[in-house]
Amino acid sequence: MASIAHVTDLHLVEESYRGRGVLERMRLCWLNAGRSIDPARRREHALAALRSARHSDHLLITGDLTEDGVPAQFELLAEVLSEAGLEPERVTLVAGNHDLYVDPLAFTRALEGPLRRYARSSRPGQLLDIGSAFILPIDTAVKKPLTRSSGVFRPEQARQIAHCAADTSLRGRPLVVAQHHPPLGYRNCVWNFIDGLDNVAAFSTLLHAHPRLHVVHGHTHHHGSRALTAERREQIHSSAAIIDDARHVRFYHVGDDELRALDAEPQQPWLASRAARPLAAPVSQGA
């Protein structure tokens, strides 16, 4: 049985954060409103989660790897990944909004620096064949002011996903898009502007058109799988945050164009009736 593990939202903080300047400490306090800053505890959570996932065939880590994306935090992540005993070629990392609050190129620089061992399997937009499935990491995170945490789904990303999903040479195995933000954002347009994803209609079109397409994401700190309608299999999968609990690791069975969460419960009739309404109205691919 082929398997994929999923962890997200580590929010690592360097031990020396108290030595930052005043404005940088204020930024950390803002981002952690209502949450204690405990670097050691966050490191322990991340290490425990990664160790529990290391026996899967592949591991997806879907963003907010760090708290605000300073170089020391990416160096800490590299140390934790190495200590967990993970083989770099079996790990895919994607950036979250927290990873770019300081520098829009922070994740790119990290893949060229402390995370270079993981670059081959983590470059945004590079299709990865893991044998049982195809993994496509995409970058929905963009640098935003501290008052916003939303992401962007770009037209070129939609075109690439559509091309891969329609490629007959890739049939027979699921296409798994790994990203940070939820692909259909939020129904509340104000909250979607603040914390969701731009261009969700294009993503909805792709998911409706390609049943073998699956999305694994973070950001919401929510654990679950969603189907577009009662007649469809679950195509959207998220995991709760590792910063909150090291046990928030999800495992998926891979096979026959399907990605199935091993902890998913059968859909109940009342859930099916709620799911029968599309989460977002399909639109033409050119829109």
Task: Tell me the C-alpha distance between 101 and 129, whole Å.
Answer: 31
Q: pLDDT, tens digit, for every residue of 122-142?
A: 999 999 999 999 999 999 999
Range of the domain at 249: 2-275
- DSSP β-ladder status, 224-227 and 91-94: unpaired
- Is 219 in contact with 180 (CB distance < 8 Å)? yes
DSSP label at 232?
Answer: S
Asked whether residue 15 is domain-assigned, the answer is: yes
111 assigned to some structural domain: yes
The Cβ of residue 146 has, within 10 Å, a number of other Cβ atoms equal to: 11
CA dihedral 226, 230, 232, 237 (to 10 degrees): 10
Residue 284 lies in a domain: no
Query: For each of the chain's 287 residues, which pLDDT tens digit applies?
Result: 589 999 999 999 999 999 999 999 999 999 998 899 999 999 999 999 999 999 999 999 999 999 999 999 999 999 999 999 999 999 999 999 999 999 999 999 999 999 999 999 999 999 999 999 999 999 999 999 999 999 999 999 999 999 999 999 888 899 999 999 999 999 999 999 999 999 999 999 999 999 999 999 999 999 999 999 988 999 999 999 999 999 999 999 998 888 999 986 544 433 333 333 333 333 333 33
CATH number reported for the structural domain that contains residue 170 in this entry: 3.60.21.10
* Cβ–Cβ under 8 Å, residues 116 and 109: no
Q: Tokens in use for 34?
A: 């209502």
Per residue in 232-272, pLDDT (tens digit) is: 999 999 999 999 999 999 999 998 888 999 986 544 433 33
Nearest to 135 by CA among 148, 147, 120: 120
Structure tokens at 104: 């829009």
Q: Check if the beta carbon of residue 188 is closer than 8 Å to that of residue 143.
A: no
| Angstrom distances, CA of residue 285 to CA of 49, 126, 138, 207, 239 | 38, 21, 18, 11, 29
Q: Residue 74 and residue 125: Cα distance in Å, rounded? A: 21
Phi, psi of 6 (to 5 degrees): -140, 120
Distance CA 50, CA 15 (A): 20
Domain assignment present for residue 282? The answer is no
Counted domains in the chain: 1
Q: Look up the pTM and report it.
A: 0.90
Both structure tokens of 75 = 């160096």
| Residue 47 is assigned to a structural domain of this protein | yes
